[in-house]
Amino acid sequence: IKVPVRQSRFLSLSTGRFGQKNQMSTTTQLQEDINGLNDAVDAAFVLLSAFMVFLMQLGFGLVETGSISSINTQSIILKNLLDVSFVTIGWWFIGYSLSSNTGNYFSGDGSKVFSTFEDGWLRGQFNLSFAAAAATILSGAVAGRIKFLPYCIASCTIGTICFPIVAHWAWASNGWLYKSGFIDFAGGGVIHLMGGVGALIGLLAVGPRSGRFIWDGDDGGVVDHRPRGHSITLVYVGAMLLWVAWFSFNSGSALGVSNGTWRVAVVAAFNSSIAPAAAIMTILPIQNILEGKMSVSGILNSALAGLVVVTPGCATLEPWGALVCGILGAAVYQGSSYCMVRMLLDDPVDAFSVHGVCGLLGVILAGVLSDEALIDRAYGSGYRCSNRGKQLGIQTLGSLVIILWTVGIIGTIFLIFRQIPGGLRVSKQDELVGTDFAYFSAYAYPDFKEKVREAKEQHLRKVELALRREMKKSKKSSVKSQEKTDSGVYKGSVVNKDQEKAHDPDVHSRGQKSFQDAHSGGQKSFQVEAKYQDVVSKNEIPNFSPSYFTSQNKSLVDKLMESELEQKALREQIDSLQSAVASLMERRLGLPSALTSERDSTGQVSSQDHLSFRVNA
C-alpha cells in the first residue's frame, strides 16, 4: 500500500484542484487501492494460517513420541523431519502442479512443474502445510518397527502424489468431485481419510510390535500386552498444539477475511471448539462403562476425533451439527479402537481410528447435517445438490474413490517392499533395543534407564543368581555329607589328606563344572535359560537368542569362576596355616601326646577332646 500517494489523492479531492475526469480517475485508483488492501489482508491471513497449520508437525511429533517407548524417540523426530523435507521438495516439483486448476477433471496438466513465484503460490503454500500433515499421519501407526527408506517413500508419495490428485478432485474448479457438489471444506476426506487409510495399510504391512499380542495357550486366547507410552505429558502438549493449530486448519480454508469471508472463517473456528469439547464429554462415561476406568490418552484422542469429524463441514454446519459430530466422533473412535485390538492390529497412536474412520464419518455427516444457507455462503449459490439423498450419495462416492485411490498407490509401495527380505521392517534385535540405538547408537534420554539397559541388567542378574543358587545347593549337600563322615575332625593335624578327599567330594570342581556347563550351553545353561524364558514370556525383558546368552555372559562366568577358585585357594591357605599352628603347638606344648591316648581304633580324635583342644589353642 503506497501511503503517500493515497494521502496526496485525498488532499487533491479536498481542494478541488482536479476536474471531473480526474475525480473519476482518482475514485478508480482508490477502489483499486481498497482491493489491494483486501488482497493484502487476505494474504496475511492465509500465510498466518499456513504457518499455524505447519505447527501440526510439532503436535504430531509430540503425540507420537509420548505414545511409544523412549527408545524410539529420535527415530520419530527424524522421520517427521524427513517427510516434511521430502514433501516440500516434491510439492514444489510436481505436487502443486497436479493440484492446480489447470488440466482436466482428474489432475493438473503439469505446466507448473518447478514453477516460479506467482499469485497462485499463496494457495500453494497453504496446501503445502496440508500435504505435510497428510504425510505425517502414517508415522505414528508404524512407529518403532519400520525402516527409514520405505517410510520416506510412502510418506513422500502421500504428500506429492495422493494428496495433490485428491485435492484437485475436491477443490479445483475443474475437479470432478467439485463439479459434483462434494462437500469437504477443510479436508476431512482429502487429508484425514486418505492419511488414515495409508496408516492402516502401513500397519498391516509391518505387523504388530514384538510382544504386543501374545498367544495364551491356557484358554486359547490372545493377551494384549499394549506397551505404555513413556510420557503422557508429551501426548497432552502435542494434542493441545494440534487443537490450537486446527483452528487455522479449518478457518484458514476460507482463504481470506475480506468481503464477508470472515463470517465463514468464524463459523469454522467456532465449530472447531464445539466438536472436541463434546467429544471429551462423551468419552468419559463411555470409558467408565466399558472399562471401569479413564484413560488420558483415550480422552485426548477422542478430542482429535471430534476435530476430524467436524473438519469436512466446519463451515457448513450449525453449532448443533458440530455437537452431533463431536458426540458421534467419540463413540465411533472408541468402537474402532476396540475393534482394531480384537483384530490384532497394532496402532500405537490410533491413527486409523482417529483419522481414517472419523474422517469417513465426517464426510458423510457433512452431506447430511450441513445447512443450506451456510453451504451457499461457503461455496457460492448453486453449489449444493437439490436433495439430501443425492448429496449423501455424492459424499459416499467421493469417500470410496479416495479410499480406493490411496489403497492402490500406497498398497503397491508396501507390497513391493514386503517382497524384499528385510526391506520393510527393522530386525527383531533392533526393535527390542530400540531404533534409536540401532540408527544413532544413543538414546534421547541419556540419564534415563532405558528399557534395553534394564533388560540386559536383569538378564545378567538372573543368570548370576541361578548359577550361585546352584553352587549354594551343591555346597550344602557337600557340607551335610562331610558332617556325617568327618564330624569333629581337625583338619591338617591328624587327618590323612587322601582320606579327607575320599570322604569330602570336591565341591569346587562341581561348581566349576556348573559354570563350564553354563558357559558352553550345556544342561545348566538350558535350566537357566528356561527360567529366563519365564521372565521373557511376561514381556519384562527382550528374548535374546541362546548365542547371545552364552556369548554375552562369558565375562561374567569367568569372573565367577575366578572368584570361586580364589575362595578355594584361600581355604587351602587357611588349612595349611592351621596345620602349621598345630605342628608348632605339638613341638612347644606337647599337646598331641595328651591326645594320643584318646584316639580310637581308626586314629580319630573324639569330639570332646577335639573341642577342648581347639579351646586351649
**Domain ends where: 385, 406, 440?**
440
Q: Quick one: what percent of the chain has pLDDT higher than 90? A: 42
Give pLDDT tens digits for 60-96: 999 999 999 888 899 999 999 999 999 999 998 888 8
For residues 414 and 477, state if they share a domain: no
For residues 198 and 304, state if they share a domain: yes
Q: Is residue 329 part of a domain?
A: yes
Q: Which CA distances in Å does 570 have to 81, 118, 471, 488, 567?
A: 62, 89, 17, 21, 5
Q: Is residue 16 part of a domain?
A: no
Give pLDDT tens digits for 543-591: 444 444 444 444 544 555 555 666 677 677 777 776 776 666 666 555 4
126 and 255 Cβ atoms separated by less than 8 Å: yes
For residues 350 and 254, state if they share a domain: yes
CA triplet 75, 77, 80: central angle to 5 degrees? 105
For residues 436 and 492, state if they share a domain: no
Closest CA to 411 of 208, 204, 159: 204
Give pLDDT tens digits for 246-296: 999 999 999 889 888 899 999 999 999 999 999 999 999 999 998 888 899
For residues 432 and 493, state if they share a domain: no
H/E segment holding residue 216? strand 213-216
The pLDDT of residue 467 is 72
Q: Which of 55-59, 172-176, 573-577 has the lowest mean pLDDT?
A: 573-577
pTM above 0.85, yes or no: no
For residues 170 and 310, state if they share a domain: yes
Residue 330 has pLDDT above 70, yes or no: yes
Query: What gap in Å lies between CA 63 and CA 68, rounded to an integer?
Result: 9
- pLDDT averaged over every residue in the chain: 77
Q: Is residue 463 part of a domain?
A: yes
Q: Is residue 521 part of a domain?
A: yes
For residues 472 and 370, state if they share a domain: no
- CA 454 to chain CA centroid, nearest Å: 20
> For residue 531, what are the domain limits?
454-571
For residues 318 and 385, state if they share a domain: yes
The pLDDT of residue 581 is 67
Residue 215 pLDDT grade (very low, low, confident, very high; cuts 50, 70, 90):
confident
Pairwise pLDDT comparison (361 vs 449), residue with the higher score: 361
For residues 64 and 188, state if they share a domain: yes
Q: Is residue 607 part of a domain?
A: no
The pLDDT of residue 454 is 57
**Domain ends where: 440, 465, 487?**
440
Q: Is residue 513 part of a domain?
A: yes
Q: Is residue 519 part of a domain?
A: yes
Give pLDDT tens digits for 492-545: 444 444 444 444 445 445 545 544 554 444 443 334 444 444 444 444 444 444
Query: What gap in Å lies between CA 486 and CA 507, rounded to an integer?
Result: 15
For residues 418 and 468, state if they share a domain: no
Report the number of distinct structural domains present in the chain.
2
Average pLDDT over every residue of 411-425: 91
**Domain ends where: 440, 466, 500?**
440
Query: 601 burial class (0-12, 13-18, 19+ CB within 10 angstroms)?
Result: exposed
Q: Is residue 10 part of a domain?
A: no
For residues 461 and 389, state if they share a domain: no
For residues 240 and 389, state if they share a domain: yes
The CATH number that applies at residue 423 is 1.10.3430.10
Residue 7 has pLDDT above 50, yes or no: no
Q: Which of 67-71, 233-237, 377-381, 537-541 has the lowest mean pLDDT?
A: 537-541
